[in-house]
Each structure stands twice: as structure tokens, then as C-alpha cells.
Chains A and B, each alone.
Chain A
Amino acid sequence: MSNDVIKAEGLTKVFNKSLVAVDHVNFSVKEGEIFGFLGPNGAGKTTTINMLITVLKPTEGKASVLDYDIAKQANEVRKVIGVVPQEYTADEDLTGYENIILCADLYGIPREISKKRALELLELVELSHFKDKRVETYSGGMRRRLELACGLVNRPKVLFLDEPTLGLDVQTRTATWNYIKRLKKEYGMTLFMTTHYLEEADALCDRIAIIDHGKIIVTGTPSELKEGLGGDIITIGIKENEDVSEIIRGVKNVKEVKNEDGAYRIKAEAGEVTAPLIIEALRKKGYTVTKLSLTEPTLNEVYLEYTGKAMRDTEESKEAFISQRITLRRARGG
């Protein structure tokens, strides 16, 4: 077996012969790493995951999980993977324990094993006290943890997490990250996850692929991607309503200048030294600097760099998100 646990080559999904959700993506995931797909809603993350977990068939291209072809050996793939879907799929009318047993039954795990394992998993996600409570009484964070437990019931080699903290508050989100980290450590699994939260990708992922409009734009470790930006980001605002890009470009260490509606986004090495030089250069030409900020690159900058838009701009309202999902469902149904 090769070192690559997941491999995708030219993986493509087209809905209704026109809606290209995933457009010839190539990537590989190494054994034991957490690989993240980062991108806005509608970028093709869930579609990719659904192809990898054999729920959707690719229109073109191929992919494999542990060397099993996702199209030709779907059933083998299903046996070795665990899935934690975006939605809360646990049955609300059943208890947490009953839900895990149901999942185990679907994998054909004998009851004598699954009963023991269900208790272990509930312990792991700290739901033991609630095991006989119906899921409808669970909070969002508890449901998320139950989904995690269900996804682990077959002791998967590869775990797929689709937006594992979608809709959770900051505290619960951090707690969920800790669970995911612990799971990875205790089970030694390979994780493939999607997210549209930059902090999440930064906190969890060993490697990230930024995806937008169905295409992978860049792949790398979070620090590689940040370093790849080539320095710090200086943002400057001036009083005068003129374009001073050329002046800034002339300053030492400045690598790139972007004028974004009067705010200059400057990429520069050694930002703390370069920023005063820029102010000086502008003052000499008679301009007044009114605003200045200096940031070391975060994934937000990386994201901005590659997609040309801030992450927050792409975070649509919930309604828009839901309506888009419905469109996709319809496309799938028809």
C-alpha cells in the first residue's frame, strides 16, 4: 500500500449536465494526517466528500481510499471509513446509545462487540450520562459529539468530517476541536475534513487545500501557506484621495501593493521596519497617513490572497446557504 491514504485525480462532479460542483481536483492525503478542504459555502467541499464516501458517483476522474477505488470498490471503501456528516443525522426519537447500536448494525458489527463499543464511545465523547436520553433533548454540541461517536463505531482507518463545527458557538467549537485531536491521537486515523472556518483549519489541519468554485487553488501546510505570502501585511490609509501605489512600491522590502478602495494592502518583508519607511516616503511626497496596521500573515490573508475575497464576504446568510443546498438536492434528485 502506498503512503497516500486518499488519492484524487481529476475528480469532477457535474450536476444536471451544467452545474460544475467539483472541477478536476487533484490531491492526496498522507497516512495519519488531518487534511482540510477550506473554502466558502458552495465551493464544492461537501460534493467532494460525498464522492469520497461513495454517496455520489464522480462524473469524471477517479479517487481511491486506502487503494480502493471509490467507484468500483465502493463497498470496500465503506467498510474502512467513518463519516461525520454536516447535518445532525442521529435519530431524535432514539437515545444516544440506540443510535450508536443502529450505526453498528449497519456495519454488521456483532451485538456483543457493538454493545461494549457503544459504551466506550459514549464515554470518549463524554455522553455516558445521557446515553439513555432521547437525542431530541441533546444540545448542539452533544449532537455533534454523538455524530463523532457514530462515525467511529466501525473503528475506521479514515474519518471524514464535513464541517464538524458548523453552527456551534465558539466555546463548543473549541471543545469539539479537542475531541477531534484526541480521536486522532487515540485511534491513529487519517482525517479528511472540510471547513469554512479559517481558525478551524489553522487549529486542526496538518495540510490544507483551498477550494473555490470547485477548483483547488493551493495546497500546503498552514505555515507553508502563510510563509508563501512572502512576508507581513501592512495596511495603510491616507487622507488624500489619490493613488499612491507607485510611491509605496518604491520603498525597500515592499513586494506587492494592492489598492483596495483607498486602503493599501502591502506585502512586505520585515514589516516592523518597512512600515516606518513607507510612512516616511509618503510624507516626503506630501501625503498624510491616517491609518496603519501591521499583521503577520494568518490564513485569512492566505485566503484573501488566493481567492481575492475576504472569508467573511463569502459567508453567506443562513438562508442563502439553505437555498443553495436545496438547489443542489434538487439537482441531485432530478
Chain B
Amino acid sequence: MSNANKYKPNLIRGLWALTVRELKKWLKDPVMVLMLVLQPLIWMGLLGKSMRIDALFSANNINLPQQIPIPSNAVISPTIPPGIPYVFLNGTIISQMFANMGTSIMQNTFGVADYFSYMAVGMISMIVMTTTMFSGMSIVWDRRLGFLDKVLSTPVPRGAIIFSKVLNATLRAMFQATIILALAYILGLQLSSTFTLLNLLGIYAAIFLLGVGLSSIFIAFSLRSTRMERPMQIISLIMMPLMFASNTFFPISLMPDWMQAIARVNPLSYVTDAVRQLTILTLDASALIMDFMYLSIFAAVLAAIGIVLSWKYLTK
């Protein structure tokens, strides 16, 4: 009948239109992009550069005696070549013994020699987390400004509205993670010998999974919360603990048991580990597979919950 009926609103068209709208908005506000990148940059530049654990554990920081005399009648072990009656352990030798202590502590606990590289990767998880958690705020604004109602009055598939938000948040997270990674590299991130440009794909995949999971749930939560301030409060409340109860700053193995329990279910740990495997660590395939399995399940479960909740809200 009417000519209006002949148009076929479809998911992809709608999804694309709404996503492009948000990306345009985002790119027209470069200050906002900068602000979000600034926080992890400060963490990385100040904490990452000053926390030199390898330098902390060096011979210079230990009070060593000048000389340790060893009695000449000391039992000489069989490994010492015969013909040498005694040795003096002097400070230089002791210093040499301790010289690589910091590096080996780092290697054995953190897996890499320098702390900066370790935590810089953690900052990638951090930016993904903040970007995707705050993504819910844009739908709150859309609702408040009446834009959401206008979109709802068009025949665009409801899924397109939700997916555009998730996609947009995830794309932004990936873009910002790229900036952080580039900045970290400039500031001295040590890539391992197993790093190839192909690893970038893996990094994006990990970020994508975390982004989809977190943004879906936070969009649903923001959409359904009746007070605008509530999502902000919740996000700022959980962000710090989520970061510290993960391997973002320190290895899980050093944590007390109860904290390890949290860190082992915390998706941040898995993203961070995956990105570390793909950048600064010598790639451990089984660990990487484990990370991706966990992240896939996390993304699938949270996205399902988030999308169902949003859907219910939008079609009520």
C-alpha cells in the first residue's frame, strides 16, 4: 500500500548508521579521547618508570662487608679445583653474585626483566575497562535527550540500537589500546623475541572479547538504572579493586589466597596475560589458549545477559 512500507529497515544498515553517528561524535571531541588516554599514560609514565624493582634489588642497596675471611682449614669441597688452599670472598665477588638479583627476581615472579613493560601492558587492560564501562553513559544521555525515544519510534531493529553501543565502545577501546601500546613502545616497552606483527591480531581479539562483555553488561545496567549518577558511582567504586585484584600491577602468585581467588576469576587478569603473552613474554601457547577460552566464555555470558536485559528494557 503506502510507499513507506517498501523500505526494509535492516539490522546491518541500522547498526552501521548508529555506530557511525557515535564514532563521528567521538572523533569530533578529541579532547575526550586525550583525557581517557592520559590516565593510563600517567600511571605508566610515573608509576611504571619509578617502580624499578630490578634496580631495587641490587648489590648497591645491600650493606656488604668488605671482606669475609675463610679459615685455611676449611673443608674444601670436591668441586673446587685442587691446588688452591683458600679463597677470599671480597665485596666485588659478592656484588657480582647479587648483581643480577633484581633481574632474576623480576624474571622469576613477573616473567619479564623490567617492571615498566609489565605494567604498561596492564594499562592496556585498564583503558579497555574504563572505556567500555563508561560506554553505558552515552545511552543514558540518549535516553535523557529524547534521542533514544526517537530511534525507538523508527522501525530500526532494536538489536541494532544495543549492538551499535557495544560495537562503538569496543572499537573505541581497541583504538585507545593501540595508542597506549604505541606510547608504551616509545617509552621503552621491551618486546619479546616471539613478537610478530601478527600478534597484534591476537591482542585485538582479546581486547574485543573483554570489551564486548563489559560494555554489554554496563549498557544494560545504565539503561535500567533510574538515576543517572548511579552507574558513575558504581563504576568508580569497582574500578580500582578490579585493577588491583588482577595481574595488572603485580603477579597473582604474590597475592594472599583470598585475593588470588578474586584475581583468578577477574577477566582483567586474562586479557592482561594474553596481551603479555603476545608482546613481552616468550609466547606460551597453552597459557594463551587458556586465556582466550576464559575470555570467550566471559564475553558470551555477559553479552547474553546484557543484551537480554537491554532488549527487555527497549521493548517494554
User: Is the Cβ of B24 less than 8 Å from the Cβ of A80?
Assistant: no
> Do A105 and B24 form a contact, CB below 8 Å, given A79-B4, A79-B155, A157-B2?
no
> Do A55 and B153 form a contact, CB below 8 Å, given A105-B16, A108-B8, A157-B4?
yes
User: Is the Cβ of A108 less than 8 Å from the Cβ of B150?
Assistant: no
User: Is the Cβ of A103 less than 8 Å from the Cβ of B4?
Assistant: no
- Chain A nearest CB from B24 CB (Å) reads 6
- If over half of A's interface residues share one DSSP class (helix, strand or loop), that class is named, otherwise mixed; here it is loop
Contacting residues, chain B, for A87 (C-beta < 8 A): 145-146
User: Is the Cβ of A54 less than 8 Å from the Cβ of B152?
Assistant: yes
B284 within 8 A of A: no
In the assembly, what is the distance between CA of A157 and CA of B2, in Å? 8
Complex partner residue of B155 from A50, A89, A91, A108, CB under 8 angstroms: A108
B17 within 8 A of A: yes
In the assembly, what is the distance between CA of A333 and CA of B312, in Å? 12
B108 within 8 A of A: no
User: Is the Cβ of A53 less than 8 Å from the Cβ of B316?
Assistant: no
Chain B residue at smallest Cβ distance from A66: B2
- Chain A nearest CB from B283 CB (Å) reads 42
In the assembly, what is the distance between CA of A79 and CA of B10, in Å? 12
A308 within 8 A of B: no
Chain A residue at smallest Cβ distance from B161: A106
In the assembly, what is the distance between CA of A157 and CA of B1, in Å? 11
Contacting residues, chain B, for A156 (C-beta < 8 A): 4
B29 within 8 A of A: yes
In the assembly, what is the distance between CA of A156 and CA of B16, in Å? 23
A83 within 8 A of B: yes
In the assembly, what is the distance between CA of A91 and CA of B227, in Å? 23
In the assembly, what is the distance between CA of A333 and CA of B225, in Å? 7
Segment 219-236 of B: residues with Cβ below 8 Å from A: 224-227
Segment 147-203 of A: residues with Cβ below 8 Å from B: 150, 154-157
Contact code string A3-41 (vs B, CB < 8 Å = 1, else 0): 000000000000000000000000000000000000000
In the assembly, what is the distance between CA of A88 and CA of B150, in Å? 10
Segment 61-88 of A: residues with Cβ below 8 Å from B: 66, 75-76, 78-81, 83, 85-88
B61 within 8 A of A: no
In the assembly, what is the distance between CA of A23 and CA of B278, in Å? 62
User: Is the Cβ of B226 less than 8 Å from the Cβ of A106?
Assistant: no
Contacting residues, chain B, for A106 (C-beta < 8 A): 9, 14, 17-18, 151, 154-156
A93 within 8 A of B: yes
B13 within 8 A of A: yes
Complex partner residue of A91 from B21, B143, B224, CB under 8 angstroms: B21
In the assembly, what is the distance between CA of A107 and CA of B13, in Å? 9
Segment 130-186 of B: residues with Cβ below 8 Å from A: 143-147, 149-156
In the assembly, what is the distance between CA of A40 and CA of B29, in Å? 39
In the assembly, what is the distance between CA of A303 and CA of B109, in Å? 80
> Do A107 and B7 form a contact, CB below 8 Å, given A85-B149, A91-B147?
yes
User: Is the Cβ of A78 less than 8 Å from the Cβ of B155?
Assistant: yes
Contacting residues, chain A, for B155 (C-beta < 8 A): 75, 78-79, 106-108
User: Is the Cβ of A93 less than 8 Å from the Cβ of B24?
Assistant: yes
Complex partner residue of A81 from B21, B29, B153, B225, CB under 8 angstroms: B153
A102 within 8 A of B: yes
Chain A residue at smallest Cβ distance from B21: A102
Contacting residues, chain B, for A154 (C-beta < 8 A): 4, 7, 154
B3 within 8 A of A: yes
In the assembly, what is the distance between CA of A154 and CA of B153, in Å? 12
> Do A85 and B146 form a contact, CB below 8 Å, given A79-B155, A333-B225?
yes
In the assembly, what is the distance between CA of A75 and CA of B9, in Å? 10
Chain A residue at smallest Cβ distance from B223: A333
In the assembly, what is the distance between CA of A75 and CA of B4, in Å? 12
In the assembly, what is the distance between CA of A87 and CA of B143, in Å? 11
User: Is the Cβ of B17 less than 8 Å from the Cβ of A102?
Assistant: yes
Contact code string A297-333 (vs B, CB < 8 Å = 1, else 0): 0000000000000000000000000000000011001
In the assembly, what is the distance between CA of A8 and CA of B112, in Å? 70
> Do A85 and B5 form a contact, CB below 8 Å, given A79-B155, A105-B17?
no
User: Is the Cβ of A105 less than 8 Å from the Cβ of B2?
Assistant: no
User: Is the Cβ of A57 less than 8 Å from the Cβ of B21?
Assistant: no
Contacting residues, chain B, for A89 (C-beta < 8 A): 145-147, 149-150
User: Is the Cβ of A85 less than 8 Å from the Cβ of B150?
Assistant: yes
Contact code string B14-54 (vs A, CB < 8 Å = 1, else 0): 10111001001100110000000000000000000000000
Contacting residues, chain B, for A83 (C-beta < 8 A): 150, 153-154
Segment 106-159 of A: residues with Cβ below 8 Å from B: 106-110, 150, 154-157
Contacting residues, chain B, for A281 (C-beta < 8 A): none
Contacting residues, chain B, for A54 (C-beta < 8 A): 152-153
User: Is the Cβ of B13 less than 8 Å from the Cβ of A108?
Assistant: yes
- Chain A nearest CB from B167 CB (Å) reads 15
A94 within 8 A of B: yes
A98 within 8 A of B: yes
Chain B residue at smallest Cβ distance from A153: B154
Contacting residues, chain A, for B10 (C-beta < 8 A): 108
> Do A94 and B24 form a contact, CB below 8 Å, given A102-B17, A108-B13, A330-B227?
yes
The 9 A-B residue pairs with the shortest CB-CB distance in the complex, in nearest-first order: A87-B146, A105-B17, A108-B9, A333-B226, A78-B155, A106-B154, A106-B156, A53-B153, A93-B25
Known: A80-B5, A86-B146, A107-B155. 12 other contacts (CB 8 A): A55-B149, A76-B5, A91-B21, A102-B18, A105-B16, A105-B17, A108-B9, A108-B10, A108-B14, A110-B7, A150-B150, A330-B227
Could you jot down 21 A-B contacts, CB within 8 Å? A50-B149, A54-B152, A80-B2, A83-B153, A85-B146, A88-B145, A89-B147, A91-B25, A91-B147, A106-B14, A106-B18, A107-B4, A107-B155, A107-B156, A108-B9, A108-B10, A155-B4, A157-B2, A329-B143, A329-B144, A333-B224
Q: What is A's interface to B at a CB cutoff of 8 Å?
A: 50, 53-55, 57, 66, 75-76, 78-81, 83, 85-89, 91, 93-94, 98, 102-103, 105-110, 150, 154-157, 329-330, 333-334
